[in-house]
């Protein structure tokens, strides 16, 4: 056995005839009677106390500890006492993703996670706590996609805690805890007239962002973060035809925006009619837009370099 059971109400001492006898201690009848003690993998003594008439339960608990040690599944009792906020803070310091991603994850945890569940010990979570927390995010009006991203971050923190032997299981993996479902509604693109009106209403330095947004499906962050070197078009003038898609072929060459890239990607992605373009592909390398089945407008003729 990994340790032994101490009876704090009785002790054994030699009797008058030399045989050991049990006598009451000064603690007899006070507090919990049995204390299961063992030496942990780190060399320190661990213990847990049990009340009177529960010696068998103490022995079972000690046997389970020994079995966990032999299987490599042992988790120190005090490991789960660290709060979610304390562990998540340490976890963030070990991330190797790009700075923008780390900043986004830190912001979501700080705004929508730590104020609600940050003070709870990480080993005390059960599915109910997570369902209540997610219901609060929904009641706050956050979109399903945004809540799904936050849930993924929290689940990743719990997974790291499992791998670090801080907790035994990830509560986000419980069958009753489900990630928010994305809105199944199809996106209705703007008509070209509306795209044109928005472009003309923007300040001059921002107008070029409308073209990759409407023509290639880039989101705001992708448009503002991309370093667009050159835009070339088979059409020499603006193509505001009023149709629901671009006509002609427009090629957008973009340099990789990641730090240290230093060169343009050689990939060329063909965007077929009726299919939404890949926003990541547009920012990752060269993109050829051929009759994209999305509302567009001006598709790159005479655009200033960003």
Residue 80 has pLDDT above 70, yes or no: yes
- Kindly report, residue by residue over 1-21, the tens digit of the pLDDT: 458 898 999 988 888 888 888
The average confidence (pLDDT) of the chain is: 76
What pLDDT does residue 250 have? 40
Top pLDDT among 30 and 212 is at 30
What the block records as the tokens of 195 is 């795209």
Residue 139 has pLDDT above 70, yes or no: yes
- Kindly report, residue by residue over 161-215, the tens digit of the pLDDT: 999 999 999 999 999 999 999 877 777 788 889 989 988 999 988 888 887 788 7
Most confidently modeled range among 77-81, 178-182, 234-238, 296-300? 178-182
Residue 256 has pLDDT above 80, yes or no: no
Sign of the four-CA dihedral 176, 126, 110, 284: negative
What pLDDT does residue 43 have? 82
What pLDDT does residue 138 have? 94
Residue 103 has pLDDT above 90, yes or no: yes
Report CA Rg, the chain. Answer: 32
Top pLDDT among 226 and 11 is at 11
Reported confidence tier of residue 226, pLDDT bands at 50, 70, 90: low
Q: How far apart are CA 249 and CA 155, in angstroms?
A: 44
Q: Which is nearest to 277 in space by CA: 306, 254, 258?
A: 254
Alpha-carbon distances of 110 from 82, 97, 149, 171, 185, rounded to whole Å: 17, 18, 14, 20, 30
What pLDDT does residue 69 have? 84
Top pLDDT among 231 and 187 is at 187
Residues 6+ apart with CB under 8 A from 184: none
Provide the CA 205 distance to its chain's centre, in angstroms. Answer: 35
Average of per-residue pLDDT across 45-58: 91
What pLDDT does residue 102 have? 93
pTM summary value: 0.57
Residue 83 has pLDDT above 70, yes or no: yes
Reported confidence tier of residue 296, pLDDT bands at 50, 70, 90: very low
What pLDDT does residue 178 have? 93
Find the range with the poorest average confidence among 116-130, 178-192, 253-267: 253-267
What pLDDT does residue 227 have? 60
What pLDDT does residue 77 have? 79
């Amino acid at each position: 056995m990994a340790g032994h059971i101490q009876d704090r109400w009785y002790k054994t001492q030699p009797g008058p005839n030399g045989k050991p006898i049990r006598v009451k201690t000064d603690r007899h009848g006070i507090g919990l009677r049995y204390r299961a003690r063992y030496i942990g993998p780190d060399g320190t003594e661990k213990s847990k106390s049990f009340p009177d008439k529960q010696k068998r339960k103490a022995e079972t608990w000690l046997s389970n500890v020994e079995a966990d040690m032999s299987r490599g599944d042992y988790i120190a009792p005090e490991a789960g006492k660290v709060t979610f906020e304390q562990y998540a803070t340490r976890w963030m310091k070990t991330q190797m993703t790009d700075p923008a991603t780390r900043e986004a994850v830190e912001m979501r945890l700080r705004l929508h996670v730590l104020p609600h569940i940050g003070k709870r010990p990480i080993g005390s979570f059960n599915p109910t706590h997570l369902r209540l927390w997610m219901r609060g995010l929904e009641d706050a009006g956050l979109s399903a996609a945004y809540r799904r991203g936050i849930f993924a971050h929290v689940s990743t923190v719990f997974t790291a805690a499992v791998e670090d032997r801080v907790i035994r299981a990830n509560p986000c993996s419980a069958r009753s805890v489900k990630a928010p479902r994305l809105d199944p509604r199809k996106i209705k693109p703007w008509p070209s007239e509306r795209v044109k009106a928005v472009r003309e209403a923007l300040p001059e330095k921002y107008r070029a962002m409308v073209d990759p947004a409407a023509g290639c499906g880039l989101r705001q962050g992708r448009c503002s973060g991309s370093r667009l070197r050159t835009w070339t078009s088979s059409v020499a003038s603006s193509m505001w035809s009023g149709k629901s898609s671009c006509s002609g072929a427009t090629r957008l060459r973009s340099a990789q925006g990641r730090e240290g890239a230093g060169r343009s990607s050689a990939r060329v992605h063909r965007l077929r009619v009726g299919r939404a373009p890949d926003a990541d592909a547009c920012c990752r390398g060269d993109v050829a837009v051929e009759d994209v089945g999305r509302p567009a407008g001006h598709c790159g003729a005479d655009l200033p370099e960003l």
